[in-house]
Structure 1
Amino acid sequence: MSRRITWTLLVLTTVLLVLAVVPLAASLTARERVAFRDSQRAATRVIAAAAEEHLSDHRPATTMRREMDAAARAGDCVAVYDASARLVASTECAAAQGEEARELVEDVLDGHEPEPPEREGRLLAAEPAGEVRQPAGVVVLARSATPLDARIAAIWGWSAAIGAAGLAASVLLSVRLARWVSRPLSTLDAAARRLGEGALDERAVVGEGPPEVRRLAATFNAMAARTEALVHGHRAVIADVSHQLRTPLAALRLRLDVLAAGAEDDTATELAAAQGEIARLSRLVDGLLAVARAEQTTPRPTAVRVDEVVAERVAAWSPVAEERHVRLTGAAGPALSASLGGGHLEQILDNLIANALEAVPDGGSVTVDHRVLGASALVRVRDDGPGMDAEAKGVAFRRFGNPRARGTGLGLAIVHRLVTVNGGTARLEDTPGGGLTVVLELPLRQDGGPGRAGRR
């Protein structure tokens, strides 16, 4: 938009300057030519009056010679012709003589008023000596056009300078105007982008730009404040409810454990079922708390060694996998660093491995591998469990999106949130031969630092 405003103003200013300066310069040029011609003709008439006294009244040529000498000192060339077009007198300069001068003399003797020609950089002027219809002779005066050309060049030079100065001023003003309008809009756009990325406390600058842009910024700030209040209120409700539910659930579970210790067989069976439901509710509450924490996360990227975290989490979950008779392996991969928030990759892998171990039957396998893919670190968690159909995959990353999930239905939602908030992507694919593969693309650390931050 800034360029568009600048170019529009420049084109408009250029057109206005051309329409104003060019006609003015042309008018001044024409006026200079007329003034030059009038001055030349006036000088010629003075000599013609003195020549008439000599040619018609037969007086001495003293006055005529004096006027011709004055003209010669001024740089003009003069030639006097009689009624027969014969040269009577002239200055040393021969520019007022020649074929063109003789044609001009004949035209004047015939009573015409010809257009004075230009010869070798000099303008010719011819005036009759005496009456116009029956002149006693003709005076031809040749004057150099250099002063006229110099004045005309000065006129066009000053016109060009004025136009250039006006254009330069227009450039400065248009750039300042464009920046005055576009800078607040760019700031507002950046604020909207950061707000969309999760920085709910982002606000736009209100005191810059035109009144319309200021009102837009104020409206944006009001919207951002309301959005922040709604989102924080929603997160606070989830966190508070989850936190408040943990205490009564723990107490209820403890009481059921006490009752189950002294109950009979049928009662013990019912109590065991109740304990299972309580355990499921506890996991659900823990999952809600994890989701609330993940949604409140605004990570500061650090260098995380993907290969080390993968090996560490595989080793940590290996006892659980052995207990469930599932083979958990971490495929060897290159040493690489990703740009992630501290502890996020560990939490992502914990949720994915836990879901895979939950889904895979006895004797199954879960594999975690990693490699470089372009500008991303590709991490995959593959299992040979029952997998998911297309409908389940479409809602798997939503909270409680998969009604057939064995767990709380929150693990993949937490994974998706943590991956996307760090600038990565997550998707689900079918494992060849059956099963589910979770594919993560995480941003590589550009500085290539091998150090790892944020390990738990």
Structure 2
Amino acid sequence: MTRRITWTLLVLTSLLLLLAVVPLAVSLTARERVAFRDSQRAATRVIAAVAEEHLSDNQPPTVMREELDAAARAGDCAAVYDASGRVVARTPCAAAEGEEAEIMVREVLDGHRPAEPPQSRGRLVTAEPAGDVRRPAGAVVLARSAGPLDARIAAIWSWSAAIGVAGLAASAVLSVRLARWVSRPLSTLDASARRLGEGVLDERADVEAGPPEVRRLAATFNTMAARTEALVHGHRAVIADVSHQLRTPLAALRLRLDVLAAGAEGDVSTELGAAQEEIARLSRMVDGLLAVARAEQTTPRPMAVPVDEVVAERVAAWGPVAEERGIRLTAVSQGPGPTVALGAGHLEQILDNLIANAVEAVPERGTITLDRGRVGEGVRVVVRDDGPGMTDDAKAFAFRRFGNPEARGTGLGLAIVHRLVTVNGGTARLEDTPGTGLTVVLDLPAWREGATGGAGRQDLNRF
């Protein structure tokens, strides 16, 4: 925007300067030429007046020669011609003689005003009659150097160019300042909107910079951001509070059922066992909602996370559980171990949820494989199993809370995974494993040297 505003104003200023300065310079140049010609003719007429006294009245040529000497001292060249076109007096400079001068003299002696020839050898030539215009007693030719005229014309155009350049420079400075005054607050507002969209809910725009319209827009943005923050925090707080409050009565109810089941027999014991299972499932769901609320409140600071170490750690931790169910849990790697930029503990939580879901879904003698490697500028982590897989409809809603109707658990595990991946700037998607099964593909940002580290580990339950 800054460049567009600056260039637009510069083009408009250039056109205005061109339309104003150039015609003014042309007009001043024409006026200088006319003034120079008028001054030259006046000097020629002075010499012609004293020459007429000598040629017509037979007065001594003393005054005429004095005028010629004065013209010579001024740098002019002059020559006095009689009625026959013969030179009777002249200055030492011979520029007032020659073919062009003789043509002008004949025209003057014939009673015509001679046409002014173009500038010749750096001098301008004029001719005036001595005496009556119709029947002159002679003619005077005066040649004057065009140097002073050229110097004044050059000065006019130089000053015009300087004014134009100064005006253009001033316009450039003002254009840049104006463009920045308008665009900088908009850029700041754009950055604030981007950070708000990335989850920084306490982001606010500066309302003190820029034109009034931009300040009003920033104030409106801040109002919207404040309401959004209040709504989101209120939503999260309700989920967290309700989940937390439900855990205590559920635990108490489960203990009571355990006590009743210990002394019950027959069908009553069976019914109490089924009720205990439902209570346990409801407890897991409440804990899952609490974990989701905590995950949604996470705004991580990225740190360097070695993928190979975390994968090896989680495979070792889940190995006994997989072996107990007859499932083979393995990890493979493509190339050197990559490092990703994630919040502290997030990769462990992501892998725990994915492995837990796969262990629940894969039948006995099935396999779960963790693969990782670099893809372009990022890192790809793949969790692949050969279980029953998911339908296309189920995959379309799997990352939503309770969105998967085929989920055996609470349906919150993939929602937590999706939240933790996307909040760190990555992406997650579901694909079919060749043959049968489900493949979860995670594209995570690679760690770059100099990135900001930090953030303590957050303990979220796995679901």
Could you tell me which residue of structure 1 aligns to residue 24 of structure 2? 24
Aligned-pair CA distance for 1:453 = 8.7
CA distance, structure 1, for counterparts of residue 115 and residue 251 of structure 2 = 117
CA distance, structure 2, for counterparts of residue 452 and residue 337 of structure 1 = 15
Q: TM-score, normalised by structure 2?
A: 0.96
Q: Which AA in structure 2 matches 1:416?
A: H
Could you tell me which residue of structure 2 aligns to residue 324 of structure 1? 325
- Superposed CA offset, 1:46-82 (max 9, x none): 1000110111111111111110010001000001111
Could you tell me which residue of structure 1 aligns to residue 128 of structure 2? 127
Could you tell me which residue of structure 2 aligns to residue 306 of structure 1? 307
**Bigger Cα displacement from structure 2, 304-313 vs 390-399:** 390-399
- Superposed CA offset, 1:372-423 (max 9, x none): 1111111111110000111111111111111111011111111011001111
- Superposed CA offset, 1:210-241 (max 9, x none): 11111111100000000000000000000001
CA distance, structure 2, for counterparts of residue 126 and residue 392 of structure 1 = 107
Could you tell me which residue of structure 2 aligns to residue 219 of structure 1? 220
Q: Which AA in structure 1 matches 2:108?
A: V
Q: Which AA in structure 1 matches 2:296?
A: E
Aligned-pair CA distance for 1:448 = 9.2
Could you tell me which residue of structure 2 aligns to residue 388 of structure 1? 390
CA distance, structure 1, for counterparts of residue 366 and residue 446 of structure 2 = 32
CA distance, structure 1, for counterparts of residue 328 and residue 267 of structure 2 = 37
CA distance, structure 2, for counterparts of residue 258 and residue 312 of structure 1 = 39
Q: TM-score, normalised by structure 1?
A: 0.97
Superposition pairs of residues 64-83 of structure 1, within 5 angstroms: 64-83=64-83
Whether the 8 Å contact between 1:305 and 1:452 is mirrored in structure 2 is no
Q: Which runs of 5+ in 1 are unaligned?
A: none
Quick one: which of 366, 374, 383 aligns to 2:376? 374
- Superposed CA offset, 1:80-119 (max 9, x none): 1111212221111111111111111111112222232221
Quick one: which of 433, 438, 441 aligns to 1:439? 441
Superposition pairs of residues 44-443 of structure 1, within 5 angstroms: 44-117=44-117, 118-333=119-334, 334-443=336-445
Q: Which AA in structure 2 matches 1:258?
A: V
Q: Which AA in structure 1 matches 2:365?
A: G
Partner-residue secondary structure (3-state), 1:222: helix
CA distance, structure 2, for counterparts of residue 121 and residue 249 of structure 1 = 112
Q: Which AA in structure 2 matches 1:94?
A: A
Coordinate RMSD, CA, aligned: 1.5
Over the matched positions of the two proteins, sequence identity in percent amounts to: 79
**Bigger Cα displacement from structure 2, 144-153 vs 111-120:** 111-120
Q: Which AA in structure 1 matches 2:153?
A: I
Whether the 8 Å contact between 1:303 and 1:453 is mirrored in structure 2 is no
Whether the 8 Å contact between 1:303 and 1:452 is mirrored in structure 2 is no
CA distance, structure 2, for counterparts of residue 325 and residue 283 of structure 1 = 24
- Superposed CA offset, 1:349-386 (max 9, x none): 00000000011111111111111111111111111000
CA distance, structure 1, for counterparts of residue 15 and residue 362 of structure 2 = 76
CA distance change for structure 1 residues 293 and 148 in 2, over 3 Å: closer, same or farther? same
Whether the 8 Å contact between 2:192 and 2:203 is mirrored in structure 1 is yes
CA distance, structure 1, for counterparts of residue 311 and residue 6 of structure 2 = 54
Q: Which AA in structure 1 matches 2:272?
A: L
CA distance, structure 2, for counterparts of residue 361 and residue 41 of structure 1 = 117
CA distance, structure 1, for counterparts of residue 386 and residue 352 of structure 2 = 18
Could you tell me which residue of structure 1 aligns to residue 36 of structure 2? 36
Whether the 8 Å contact between 1:304 and 1:453 is mirrored in structure 2 is no
CA distance, structure 2, for counterparts of residue 276 and residue 113 of structure 1 = 126
Aligned-pair CA distance for 1:452 = 11
Q: Which AA in structure 2 matches 1:404?
A: E
- Superposed CA offset, 1:116-141 (max 9, x none): 22210000010000010110111000
Q: Which AA in structure 2 matches 1:62?
A: T
Partner-residue secondary structure (3-state), 1:315: helix
CA distance, structure 1, for counterparts of residue 259 and residue 364 of structure 2 = 32
CA distance change for structure 1 residues 409 and 210 in 2, over 3 Å: closer, same or farther? same
Aligned-pair CA distance for 1:257 = 1.0
Whether the 8 Å contact between 2:362 and 2:387 is mirrored in structure 1 is yes
CA distance, structure 2, for counterparts of residue 305 and residue 7 of structure 1 = 49
CA distance, structure 1, for counterparts of residue 446 and residue 184 of structure 2 = 32
Equivalent pairs counted in the alignment come to 455
Partner-residue secondary structure (3-state), 1:287: helix
Partner-residue secondary structure (3-state), 2:447: coil
CA distance, structure 1, for counterparts of residue 113 and residue 455 of structure 2 = 101
- Superposed CA offset, 1:157-177 (max 9, x none): 011111111111111111111
Q: Which AA in structure 2 matches 1:218?
A: A
CA distance, structure 1, for counterparts of residue 214 and residue 265 of structure 2 = 75
Q: Which AA in structure 1 matches 2:294?
A: R
CA distance, structure 2, for counterparts of residue 53 and residue 405 of structure 1 = 128
Q: Which runs of 5+ in 2 are unaligned?
A: none
- Superposed CA offset, 1:412-453 (max 9, x none): 11101100111111111111111000011111112299x999
Partner-residue secondary structure (3-state), 1:67: helix
CA distance, structure 1, for counterparts of residue 339 and residue 79 of structure 2 = 99
Aligned-pair CA distance for 1:185 = 0.6
Partner-residue secondary structure (3-state), 2:191: helix
